[in-house]
């Protein structure tokens, strides 16, 4: 059955913004454009609300409402649903904000949680919102991640595909170590390089036999388990020494046996220090993850930056 609605002009003071709703990310240019448009022409496109007693609960259009208030506008055009179930309001909210920009990860996870609690399957959520089933399924898995990994995904410090690979590490201690390592890698390390590190170093994937849980090492451009390495030696008539080369830590200069000589080159003690400095600036001083360059963090670590 089609849900009925109509366009009305309603008082802005009667609009209530619920906590559980999905918001979209807008870049600075789009945000300024919307603000200028409202300042010059007023609100051109109706917001979406549903009636809640003598108030109107906002479904979509929070930015328009906020900027209209700043301009002293007292009434705004709205598409009003008189009798709209909460689940339908959440679905409309997802659809509208998907069309307007990238969705806030925190709130799409919360929306999936709420809709599944209401009895919707992941496939139904995908079908009703227009997202692919795989997309909804992947974001639903964030709910079951360790808190540190979940938070890193929600603030966009770790990409979802990388986080899902970390989540699949069977050993919990290695999983937590992988989270710390990935957060400490410089931005120049690509997604594929991060995935390679997780799959091979932490999950023990052999490129030759395809099995996981092996004690693997890098031979040429492949990661091989001991059995495959021996076969490789026999085929190539080359002896590969199963000892990783010693290198010097980029920060303290001490010789170490790195877990990956191509990507990290930082001893465990300095890696923990860099991670601590990054967390300090992000959570205590308000810096965004992308503002914390690897060069800056390593310089602070080299200069023995003291955490308060």
Output the CA–CA distances (angstroms, integers) from residue 61 to 153, 155, 223, in the order listed.
Answer: 25, 23, 51
153: enclosing H helix or E strand: helix 147-154
In this prediction, the residues of the chain whose per-residue pLDDT falls under 70 are 1-3, 19-44, 98-103, 236-246, 257-265, 284-291, 304-308
- pLDDT of 24 reads 46
Q: Say yes or no: 182 and 255 in one domain.
A: yes
**Within 13 Å, how many C-alpha atoms sit on residue 79's CB side?**
16
**Host domain of residue 235:** 204-243
86 shares its domain with 163: no
β-strand partners of 8: 78
Indicate if 90 and 178 belong to the same structural domain: no
Residue 108 within any structural domain of the chain? no
Residues 150 and 292 in one domain: yes
Q: Decide if 78 contacts 46 (C-beta within 8 A).
A: yes
**Is 93 inside a domain boundary?**
yes
C-alpha to C-alpha distance for 300 and 292, rounded to whole angstroms: 11
* Residue 104 DSSP code: P
Kindly state the tokens that stand for 192. Answer: 């594929």
Q: Are residues 298 and 178 in the same domain?
A: yes
235 lies in some domain: yes
- Do residue 161 and residue 214 come from a single domain? no
| Beta bridge pairs of residue 78 | 8, 47
178 found inside a domain: yes
Structure confidence at residue 96 (pLDDT): 74
C-alpha distances out from residue 285 to 41, 279, 281, 303, Å:
39, 9, 5, 19
Distance, CA of 286 to chain centre: 18
Q: What is the pLDDT of residues 97-124, one digit of tens each?
A: 766 655 677 777 888 888 888 888 999 8
pLDDT for the residue numbered 21: 53
Examine residue 267 and state whether it is found in any structural domain, yes or no.
yes
Contact (Cβ atoms closer than 8 angstroms) between residue 159 and residue 182? no
Please give the structure tokens belonging to residue 249. Answer: 């830590």
Same domain, 199 and 234: no
How many independent structural domains does the chain possess? 3
Q: Among 200, 258, 246, which Cα is nearest to 225's?
A: 200
Q: Tell me the whole-structure pTM to 2 decimals.
A: 0.54
Q: Is residue 1, in this structure, part of any structural domain at all?
A: no
Residues 59 and 172 in one domain: no
């Amino acid at each position: 059955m089609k849900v009925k609605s109509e366009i009305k002009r309603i008082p802005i003071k009667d609009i209530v913004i619920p906590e559980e709703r999905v918001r979209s990310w807008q870049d600075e240019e789009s945000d300024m454009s919307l603000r200028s448009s409202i300042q010059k022409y007023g609100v051109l496109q109706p917001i979406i609300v549903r009636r809640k007693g003598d108030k109107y609960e906002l479904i979509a259009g929070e930015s328009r409402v906020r900027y209209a208030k700043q301009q002293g506008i007292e009434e705004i055009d709205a598409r009003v649903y008189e009798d709209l179930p909460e689940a339908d309001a959440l679905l409309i909210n997802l659809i509208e904000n998907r069309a307007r920009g990238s969705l806030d990860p925190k709130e799409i996870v919360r929306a999936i949680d709420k809709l599944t609690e209401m009895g919707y399957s992941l496939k139904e959520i995908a079908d009703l919102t227009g997202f692919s089933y795989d997309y909804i399924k992947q974001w639903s898995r964030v709910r079951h991640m360790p808190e540190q990994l979940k938070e890193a995904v929600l603030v966009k410090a770790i990409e979802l595909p990388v986080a899902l690979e970390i989540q699949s590490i069977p050993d919990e201690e290695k999983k937590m170590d992988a989270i710390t390592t990935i957060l400490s890698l410089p931005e120049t390390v690509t997604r594929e390089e991060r995935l390679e590190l997780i799959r091979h170093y932490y999950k023990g994937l052999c490129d030759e036999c395809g099995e996981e849980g092996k004690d693997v090492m890098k031979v040429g451009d492949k990661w091989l388990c001991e059995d495959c390495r021996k076969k490789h030696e026999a085929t190539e008539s080359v002896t590969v020494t199963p000892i990783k080369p010693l290198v010097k830590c980029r920060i303290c200069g001490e010789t170490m046996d790195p877990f990956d000589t191509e990507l990290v080159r930082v001893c465990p003690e300095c890696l923990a220090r860099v991670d601590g400095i990054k967390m300090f600036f992000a959570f205590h001083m308000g810096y965004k993850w992308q503002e914390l360059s690897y060069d800056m963090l390593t310089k602070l670590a080299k200069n023995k930056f003291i955490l308060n």
